[in-house]
Amino acid sequence: CGIFGVVGVQDASTFVALGLHALQHRGQEAGGIVAHDPEQGFNNARRFGYVRDNFTSQKIMETLPGPLSIGHVRYSTSGSKGQTAIRDVQPFFGEFSMGGAAIAHNGNITNANTLRRELIERGSIFQSSSDSECIIHLMARSMGRSIPDRMEEALRKVEGAFSVVAMTRTKLIGVRDPLGVRPLVLGKIGDGWALSSETCALDIIGAEFVREIEPGEMVVINTDGVQSHFPFRRQKPRFCIFEHVYFSRPDSILGGRSVYETREAIGRELAKESPVEADLVCPVPDSGTPAAIGFSLESGIPYAMGIIRNQYMGRTFIEPTEQIRNMGVRLKLNVNRALIKGKRVILVDDSVVRGTTSRKIKEMILDAGAKEVHFRIASPPTAWPCFYGVDTPQREKLLAATMSEDEMREHLAVDSLKFISLDGLYRAVGEAQGRNPTCPQYCDACFSGEYPVKPADMVEQGFQM
Ligand code: 5GP
Ligand code: SF4
Ligand code: MG
């Protein structure tokens, strides 16, 4: 998901709409905005679909006045899937004795089932099926004297990954979980402030990137400035390494590094680790592009756009009939035949999950007359599901969970298939010594199976770590 908030500017919600538009890659199913105005109080709008289709008209933006606003773009990793329930669309809102508060959450609460059960037993009435709603009910139960105090107390009971942007009538609040699994950054805009999942959304509103919110940090912001404190027990951070590989936008800065440059470095590492003779390096667009450029630069093999992406095809295209569904990846990607015919082609993609994309693309490339197809993947084999806010399928459906690298190559029927090593990936993100096996610098559970936070709900449901 993507989260964004602004305080201290006129018509804050219009800045939030722009910020969410720049974060659309983090969630395409739905979006919501809450704004507060001293005269009109709190207002909210939640809609299915893209920000550009929902939050651009004057008609809707006029209903969200005021100098303080937060928003959320949704990508379902818990609760209902797809566009099934508007009640699961954030921000969530609660009315407390000291006033209202709205919250937007990115991540996944790994003990949400237990918390929900306990809360319902004690009388909480849930409005949604989302894990994030627990935070509101925990706040309602807290005896804290201010909303930030209550949020702090609520979040101490929550396990897993959370970056949160919240607002009261006068304050913008940002929190990152102690491991800092999901990103959150602080920006300055005029006399006001912004919080965002990624720096690319600060750029779009002309805000200056100030710094990252630190793992375990809570900031409470009003027009007087930013107050920071660390309410959780300090732990060694474990940022999601997959944000560098795939999730974040290449024009964002993460951990002081350009995501684009990191991805290019991944491509270079791949070329060093798994070289192969070929005529062309082609990305699987768009997610494989920077790594393919890095592979080409390192290997000296020319880069070419052998696959063209239809820019108008969203990730959540409606698939109305069986006939159209069977066209699958063809709706989005097409082979540039003139380039491919008779060539030995290296295809670079960011990841192999179920293997569906790679299989279809290989068929298309061979149909177009390629002589050889070599896959190079910018992440290690995805063998474990993510429980911290990326929607990977059940373990059985992950290709790498049931097959060795050789078996995957056979299954995909390609001339070669190589993944970057875990150490290679760590080097590419700036860890010159590679992965520290006793205390890894990042979360890499989807590749290593080493979960930094026990996924309590899943273990309860029989998941074997
Ligand atoms: P597969 O077809 O193997 O199941 O999935 C791999 C493709 O899905 C890759 O091209 C990658 O860019 C994309 N991908 C990887 N992780 C995610 C994710 O969390 N969400 C979405 N929508 N796509 C993903
Ligand atoms: Fe990121 Fe993978 Fe960890 Fe999930 S399991 S937080 S995708 S590194
Ligand atoms: Mg892709």
The reply to whether 17 and 135 lie within a common domain is yes
Q: Which CATH number belongs to the domain containing residue 354 in this structure? A: 3.40.50.2020
Task: Indicate whether 210 and 77 sit together in one domain.
Answer: yes
- 246 within some domain: no
Measured from the Cβ of residue 159, the count of other Cβ atoms closer than 10 Å reads 18
CA angle 23, 27, 33 (to 5 degrees): 70
DSSP state at residue 396: G
Q: Which domain holds residue 30?
A: 2-237
Does residue 7 form part of some domain?
yes
Helix (H) or strand (E) holding 305: none
324 and 227 both lie in a single domain: no
Q: In 55-91, which positions are buried (b, 16+ CB within 10 angstroms) versus exposed (e)? A: beeeeebeebbbbbbbbbbbbbbbbbeebebeebbbb
Same domain, 319 and 199: no
Which pTM value belongs to this model?
0.96
Q: Does the residue 252 lie in any domain? A: no
Peptide bond into 183 cis (omega under 30): no
Minimum CA distance residue for ligand 1 atom 15: 351
Total domains in the fold of the chain:
2
77 or 138, which is more confident = 138
Are residues 181 and 266 located together in one domain of the fold?
A: no
Do 209 and 285 fall into the same domain? no
Q: For 318-363, give the DSSP string.
A: ---SHHHHTTGGGGTEEE-HHHHTT-EEEEEES--SSSHHHHHHHH
At position 118, the amino acid (one-letter code) is E
Could you give the ipTM of this predicted complex?
0.94
Q: Is residue 359 part of a domain?
A: yes
Q: Does residue 435 belong to any structural domain of this protein?
A: yes
Same-domain status, 363 and 291: yes
360-412 per-position pLDDT tens digit: 999 999 999 999 999 999 999 999 999 999 988 889 999 999 999 999 999 99
Mutate to test the pocket of ligand 2, among 443, 448, 453, 463 (most ligand atoms within 8 A of CB): 443
- 217: which DSSP letter? -
355 lines ligand 1 (CB under 6 A): yes
- Tokens 């690319």 identify what position? 200
Per residue in 321-342, pLDDT tens? 666 666 778 888 899 999 999 9
Q: Are the beta carbons of 101 and 165 closer than 8 angstroms?
A: no
Ligand-binding site membership of 177 (annotated): no
Helix runs in 144-246, H state only: 147-156, 200-204, 241-242
Same structural domain for residues 232 and 305?
A: no
Residue 245 lies in a domain: no
Q: Any known ligand binding at 282?
A: no
Say if residue 75 is in the same domain as residue 167. Answer: yes
1 is catalytic: yes
Same domain for 347 and 205, yes or no, is no
Are 212 and 94 in the same domain?
Answer: yes
Shared-domain flag, residues 283 and 218: no
CATH number at residue 152: 3.60.20.10
For residue 240, say whether it is annotated as part of any ligand binding site. yes
pLDDT in tens, 140-177: 999 999 999 999 999 999 999 999 999 999 999 999 99
* Amino acid, res. 112: A
